[in-house]
Chain A
Amino acid sequence: MLLRLAPWVLTGVLVLPLGAGLAMVMLPAFGYLPALGGETFHLGAWRALWERPGLSRSVLLSFSTGLTTTFISLVCVVLFLAAVRGSWLDRALHRMVSPLLAIPHAAVAFGLAFLIAPSGLLVRWASPGLTGWERPPDLLIVQDPWGLSLMAGLILKEVPFLLLMSLAVLPQLAPEQRVNMARSLGYHPTIGWLKSVFPVLYPLIRLPIYAVIAYATSVVDMAIILGPTLPPTLSVSILQWFNDPNLDRRFMASAGALLQLGVTLAALATWWLGEQIVKRLGQHWLVNGSRRRGAFAVAFSGRFLLGLTTLTALAAMVGLAIFSLAGFWRFPDALPVTMTFNHWQRVLPSATTPLVNTLVVGVTATLIAAVLVIACLENEARHQLTPKRAMWLLYLPLLVPQVAFLFGLVVAAESLGIRPQRSLVVAGHLLFVVPYLYLSLSEAYRRLDPRWAQLAHSLGASRWHTFWRIRLPLLLAPLLTACAVSLAVSIGQYLPTLLLGGGRVATITTEAVAMASGGNRRLIGVLALLQALLPFIGFALALLLPRLIWAKRAAMRGAA
């Protein structure tokens, strides 16, 4: 039966392009690419790569950015989770998480840049009163050589991701029960959480953490906007070499892509070593009987750090809005003297094509992914299969750096006679959309009471009848949410759109990032805000539609 093939198709859609992409990066890295005249294997590309000035700095930058941001983000999330006791502040922060996650990386990066730049909002608000500056200070804050602003931008996106991943698995650990048990033994709740819940939580969020490391070591769009320029991070350098008019540079770019894979693997290995060390040292701390030490510091810093990231992200979005509406605005003024819709009117006509492209690609990829994922889950449900260990394959496209295999994928497609085009972009987006759609839908699908389907069968309904009339309606709300997540992921994609579209499939994201070097803040503000707003339409629909459809069914409302 066709449905039985679903898991194989799903795996194929993810693994085949990945494998082809990696293979077609590996061959040119060692000199072999007949299309460009590389007929023999040699190490020329590596020698050229090694001689690049600033290479070691690029590598170090990528490596350290990835590890530092992941560590800081994880600390923020863990301290916050240890601190929360369900107060209104905690609940408010909780609710802010998913919207923050929906904002694309590029929009957050632009928002942060507008906030912290020498002529950005923070300096304006503090000047001249606190700083005495009448003119923007001559400081390199955005794109600083140490990558600090890049790290800040990454942390703003990683914290909500890790928090949401933790919140998704926490209920199965019954944290209240564990903390209450610890409290009855005299532990402060915060310390009790760290000692009794965190050690079991960590293994459950390990894969998402590894995905964050892989992403942060190889990010491109954020690094173009916030990262250093001389030299840029390794991933941005690779993109530059690949786009170099001198086609010979492609060999070096391929070698660079392999090096990127190595850097990411090295970062993952380093993290793993760190895990082992913390585990060793932590064993003693877990059972040393200390019940209250550090409780206040944890409780305070947990809330403070998460509040800070949330506020910064919010302020960044407000900053985008102000800049997109700003008319005349002298430097130390806190706000523009006049507000105008001129920039919107100027951008919107030319933004129609990118908007249409963004939506067509996003909706198509989401629909294909939804059909594949549902087929896979339905097959699992019908044959009462338990999820296979092979499901970690789903994470593969999130663990392999995009720069490491997307170039190869373009080469592989071209060798099959497929030119970069919109359908190729859709196929590329599938790689990143499918894992998220699967992760957000599978829990709901598996949690659905199997008796619903059994009952329907016992009433004479066939399998398909049961699927359409019972299972799908009951799962409508989580399905729409999963689709909104998938749409948001697609909207935010920069590198796959750029490469697989051959630079000709313009989306809101590629347009916004392309303007980064131009520096017209007002126009960037409009585009970045548009980019940030699009995912919200999806989430709003996912929230609204079930409420409308089930307006007369009390038990179906709020059952997401």
Chain B
Amino acid sequence: MTATYPLRIDNVTITLNQALLLQVDDTIAPGEVLTVMGPSGSGKSTLLAYIAGFLAPAFSARGGVWLGERNLLTLPAEARGIGLLFQDPLLFPHLSVGGNLRFGLPRHTPHKSQQVAQALAQVGLADFEHRDPATLSGGQKARVALMRLLLSKPQAVLLDEPFSKLDTALRQEMRTLVFSQLRDAGLPTLLVTHDHADARAAGGTVIELG
């Protein structure tokens, strides 16, 4: 496993038309989860966009984002090493399940096929490599999306309400899987959600907005 560093959110403020949306100042240690809670429109997804490098021009933001000693804000999105998990699994519809995982793997990874097969077996989807993502169930898609994220070897992970579209039974199972995998990989994780159960399952610090 690559060495991981804490993710430091250094006094970040986000404003829209001069109105202050949110202010966060915190450090997330490797393997820890910071949960930001708030109603929709409170700007919590905007915080993720700022950290990941996709802030829409309408917003303005200030403050630093550091991974260990690296200043992330000077890097383009693809070089920040920040993994994302959205509400929807967003498996690329034109690639197979295996193709989606390979898209996540860094270019010069040795034993690619083996890694893909291993990742699928790890979440109970062995032999799914050549399947069309459209034929998977919601829970299966979510698991593939998680493994795609992990294979890309991120240095930190941002979760944007990743469980809100799953049905209740599946939700609990996915929470356990996602948080245990992220903890095992030792990744600092920022979770935004409006569901208190998510925050409890994450088990870290909680910031309430709005």
Contacts and interface: CB of A to CB of B under 8 A. Distances in A.
Interface string A80-107: 0000000000000000000000000000
Given A455-B84, A456-B103, A458-B84, A556 B94 contact: yes
A384 B104 contact: no
Interface in A453-475: 454-463, 466, 469-470, 473-474
A553 B94 contact: yes
Interface string B124-136: 0000000011110
A451 B152 contact: no
A560 to B, nearest CB: 14
Given A384-B57, A554-B135, A556-B94, A458 B82 contact: yes
B133 A459 contact: no
A177 B104 CA distance: 42
A553 B149 CA distance: 22
Interface stretch (B30-38, B85-93, B164-172, B180-188): B85-93
Contacts of A454: 52, 54, 77, 84
A458 B154 contact: yes
Given A451-B86, A473-B94, A552-B132, A457 B77 contact: yes
Contacts of B93: 474, 553, 555-556, 559
Interface string A429-463: 00000000000000000000111101111111111
A559 B135 CA distance: 16
A341 interface: no
A559 B94 CA distance: 11
Interface in B36-77: 52-54, 56-57, 76-77
A384 B76 CA distance: 15
A459 B135 contact: no
B78 interface: yes
Contacts of B81: 460
Given A454-B77, A550-B94, A556-B93, A459 B148 contact: yes
Interface in A545-559: 550, 552-556, 559
B106 interface: yes
A384 B92 CA distance: 21
Contacts of B77: 454, 457-458
B83 interface: yes
A469 B76 CA distance: 19
Interface of A: prevailing SS: helix
Contact of B53 (A456, A457, A556): A457
- Of B76, B80, B94, B149, most buried by chain A (CB within 10 Å of CB) is B94
B86 A384 contact: no
Given A459-B152, A460-B106, A384 B56 contact: yes
30 contacts: A384-B57, A451-B86, A451-B88, A452-B90, A454-B52, A454-B77, A455-B84, A456-B78, A456-B103, A457-B53, A458-B52, A458-B77, A458-B80, A458-B82, A459-B104, A460-B78, A460-B104, A460-B106, A460-B152, A461-B103, A466-B78, A469-B103, A552-B96, A552-B132, A553-B93, A553-B134, A554-B134, A555-B132, A555-B134, A556-B94
A472 to B, nearest CB: 10
B92 A457 contact: no
Contacts of A385: 57
Contacts of A384: 56-57
Contacts of B132: 552-555
Given A463-B78, A553-B134, A458 B83 contact: yes
Interface in A342-378: none
- Of B57, B83, B103, most buried by chain A (CB within 10 Å of CB) is B103
A337 B159 CA distance: 76
A548 to B, nearest CB: 13
Contacts of A552: 96, 132
Contacts of A457: 52-54, 76-78
Interface in A515-560: 550, 552-556, 559
A374 B104 CA distance: 26
A225 B197 CA distance: 74
A458 B148 CA distance: 11
Contacts of A466: 78
5 residue pairs, one from A and one from B, having the closest CB atoms: A554-B134, A555-B93, A457-B77, A555-B134, A458-B84
Contacts of A554: 132, 134-135
B119 to A, nearest CB: 14
A461 B79 CA distance: 9
Nearest to A386: B57
A470 B103 CA distance: 10
Nearest to A551: B132
Nearest to B145: A455
B187 to A, nearest CB: 13
B94 A455 contact: no
Contacts of B54: 450, 454, 457
Nearest to A385: B57
Given A384-B56, A460-B106, A559-B93, 4 more contacts: A459-B103, A474-B92, A474-B93, A556-B93
A528 to B, nearest CB: 40
A423 to B, nearest CB: 36
A96 B148 CA distance: 44
Interface in B104-140: 104, 106, 132-135
B13 to A, nearest CB: 21
Interface in A315-345: none
B134 A474 contact: no
A451 B90 contact: yes
A556 B92 CA distance: 10
A461 B81 CA distance: 11
A455 B152 CA distance: 11
Contacts of B104: 459-460
B78 A555 contact: no
Nearest to A461: B78
